[in-house]
């Protein structure tokens, strides 16, 4: 349907077009969520089934993201000459096709073709898949910024993420039970089903994107600045310091995060069902608290949200480390402990990720959103890459630290590397818009007012 025909169908009022597009975007995000929940969340177990080592997992979890973020630099060249909508749709279609190649790698492995090279082939294909998905992000965020009214980012994106997360959770649960059903001798059949579902879901996502309205995007002279200009000035402006803070925090986070799955599947010998339950608990808590974080962020500001979540996120790998002392207890006790940790983690990352996304939209002018998003994501990818490589090297080493395995050691290392960026970087960041004050008194009043009925109202 052409833009003129769409206006005729929906009316000529641009606000109506934007409202309709916001609803369509939720459907599109739900389709993407199936691809994410049934596909991307199981790429590490898939790699392990193809004989991947800890070093392979470290590369798989970090290199594709970094290369994908760098690819956003090329997207910036096309935004001036091509509609953002076209850029996004083409990227989504190419990403969908990559799921078929991911399946092909497994097929070759299970038919003893290039068996020893399967982990490296998977890294190469998954890198392409990630590139096509990441490259469209500046165009998509810029597009969505023009559709969502200023000052309501927290409310809209929290609501959208809540629905998308529910679908992700359902897809993860279905995929986990499928894999557990086929885990004995036909595990590839299970992966073939869930990755085929990921392909189909991403194709549906492209259809919904085609139905969305794209407002006109205008450029002004002098809007562009290179990444080298950004780097040279990043220590002297708010957005640059914010970008550096997120990069450093994710170095610490990704030293351990990719290896929680390895720890569960290899060291604790969890079944796919146990593994899925632990992973789902984070998603569930994210869904439950997203709306509350959205309200909090809109009222008190994105920086307050980042501060609250940023300090506590450092505790997550430390709590994973203490699971070592429960390893000899009943498996269900260990499962319950890890579920509680991931629920705690999901609550914090829900607030932190929502705040960082909205901080960009509030701190940057319209025409510079694609540029700043691309540069921010490159530094984010760099953080993930450095953290993943450090975790991969350390976890693959043959050593014992006070009787601890390398996996447990990287949990401690991650804790120390996560706590430093909030301590030194958060105090120098500034809020980008006028918000209500929130200090010790407000926090105390909030805590003492949290009756069960009030909590339920906040989460609705």
pLDDT score of 318 more than 60: yes
Predicted pLDDT at 10: 47
**Residue 4 belongs to a domain:** no
**Residue 100 belongs to a domain:** yes
User: Which of 248, 151, 192 lies closest to 46, judged by CA?
Assistant: 192
Least confident of 264-268, 270-274, 401-405: 401-405
Predicted pLDDT at 23: 94
Least confident of 25-34, 203-212, 352-361: 352-361
pLDDT score of 341 more than 60: yes
pLDDT score of 388 more than 60: yes
Say which residues have a Cβ less than 8 Å from residue 36's Cβ, sequence separation at least 6. Answer: 168, 171
* Cα 292 → chain centroid: 19
pLDDT one-digit tens code per residue, 389-448: 899 888 887 766 677 788 889 999 999 999 999 999 989 988 876 665 555 444 444 444
**Residue 1 belongs to a domain:** no
pLDDT one-digit tens code per residue, 125-154: 999 999 999 999 889 988 998 898 877 887
- Regarding predicted confidence, which is higher, 255 or 404? 255
Residue bearing tokens 């590139």: 131
C-beta separation of 113 from 89 below 8 A: no
Predicted pLDDT at 443: 47
pLDDT score of 55 more than 60: yes
Mean pLDDT within 332-344: 92
CA distances for 218 relative to 90, 110, 142, 143, 147, angstroms? 22, 52, 11, 12, 15
**Residue 200 belongs to a domain:** yes
pLDDT score of 344 more than 50: yes
CA distances for 328 relative to 97, 261, 267, 323, 400, angstroms? 44, 19, 12, 10, 19
pLDDT level of residue 181 (50, 70, 90 thresholds): confident
**Residue 8 belongs to a domain:** no
pTM for the complete prediction?
0.74
Mean pLDDT within 319-324: 89
Least confident of 108-112, 228-232, 439-443: 439-443
**Distance between CA atoms of residues 360 and 302, nearest Å:** 10
Predicted pLDDT at 219: 67
Report percent pLDDT > 70 for the chain. 89
CA distances for 9 relative to 43, 213, 231, 313, angstroms? 41, 12, 46, 47
**Residue 441 belongs to a domain:** no
Report percent pLDDT > 90 for the chain. 38
3-state percent helix, strand, coil for the chain, nearest multiple of 5: 80, 0, 20
What total number of domains does the chain contain? 1
**Residue 334 belongs to a domain:** yes
pLDDT score of 456 more than 60: no
Predicted pLDDT at 448: 41
Say what the alpha-carbon torsion angle 124, 126, 128, 130 is, to the nearest 10 degrees.
-140
Domain that holds residue 229: 23-217+225-433
CATH code, domain with 370: 1.20.1250.20
Cα three-residue angle 401-407-411, rounded to 5 degrees: 90
Give the number of other CB atoms < 10 A from CB of residue 332.
9
Residue bearing tokens 């301590």: 423
Predicted pLDDT at 209: 95
pLDDT score of 340 more than 90: yes
Predicted pLDDT at 424: 92
Residue bearing tokens 């894999």: 179
Predicted pLDDT at 432: 73
- Regarding predicted confidence, which is higher, 407 or 89? 89
> What average pLDDT does the structure give for the chain?
85
**Residue 345 belongs to a domain:** yes
């Amino acid at each position: 349907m052409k833009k003129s025909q769409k206006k005729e169908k929906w009316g000529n009022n641009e606000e109506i077009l934007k409202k309709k597009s916001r609803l369509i975007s939720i459907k599109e995000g739900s389709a993407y969520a199936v691809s994410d929940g049934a596909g991307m969340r199981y790429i590490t177990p898939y790699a392990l089934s193809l004989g991947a080592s800890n070093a392979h997992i470290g590369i798989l979890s970090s290199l594709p993201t970094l290369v994908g973020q760098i690819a956003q630099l090329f997207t910036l060249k096309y935004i001036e000459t091509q509609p953002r909508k076209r850029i996004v749709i083409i990227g989504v279609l190419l990403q969908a096709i990559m799921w078929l190649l991911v399946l092909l790698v497994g097929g070759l492995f299970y038919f003893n073709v290039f068996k020893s090279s399967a982990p490296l082939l998977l890294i190469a294909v998954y890198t392409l898949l990630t590139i096509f998905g990441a490259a469209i992000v500046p165009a998509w965020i810029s597009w969505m910024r023009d559709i969502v009214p200023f000052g309501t980012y927290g409310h809209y994106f929290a609501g959208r993420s809540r629905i998308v997360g529910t679908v992700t959770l359902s897809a993860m649960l279905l995929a986990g039970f499928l894999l557990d059903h086929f885990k004995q001798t036909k595990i590839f059949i299970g992966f073939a089903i869930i990755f085929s579902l990921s392909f189909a879901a991403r194709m549906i996502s492209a259809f919904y994107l085609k139905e969305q309205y794209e407002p006109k995007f205008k450029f002004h002279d002098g809007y562009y600045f290179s990444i080298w200009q950004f780097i040279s000035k990043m220590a002297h402006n708010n957005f640059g310091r914010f970008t550096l803070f997120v990069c450093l925090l994710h170095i610490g986070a990704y030293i351990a995060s990719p290896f929680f799955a390895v720890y569960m599947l290899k060291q604790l010998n969890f079944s796919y069902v146990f593994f899925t339950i632990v992973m789902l608990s984070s998603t569930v808590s994210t869904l439950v608290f997203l709306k509350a974080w959205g309200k909090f962020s809109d009222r008190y500001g994105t920086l307050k949200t980042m501060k609250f979540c940023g300090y506590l996120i450092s505790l997550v790998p430390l709590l994973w480390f203490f699971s070592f002392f429960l390893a000899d207890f009943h498996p269900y006790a260990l499962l319950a402990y890890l579920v509680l940790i991931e629920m705690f983690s999901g609550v914090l990352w829900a607030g932190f990720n929502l705040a960082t996304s909205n901080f960009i939209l509030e701190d940057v002018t319209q025409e510079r959103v694609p540029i700043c998003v691309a540069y921010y994501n490159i530094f984010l990818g760099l953080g993930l890459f450095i953290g993943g490589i450090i975790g991969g090297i350390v976890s693959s080493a043959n050593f014992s630290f006070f009787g601890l395995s390398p996996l447990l050691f990287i949990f401690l290392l991650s804790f120390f590397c996560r706590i430093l960026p909030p301590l030194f970087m958060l105090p120098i960041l500034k809020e980008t818009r006028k918000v209500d004050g929130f200090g010790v008194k407000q926090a105390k009043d909030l805590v003492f007012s949290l009756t069960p009925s009030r909590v339920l109202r906040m989460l609705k």
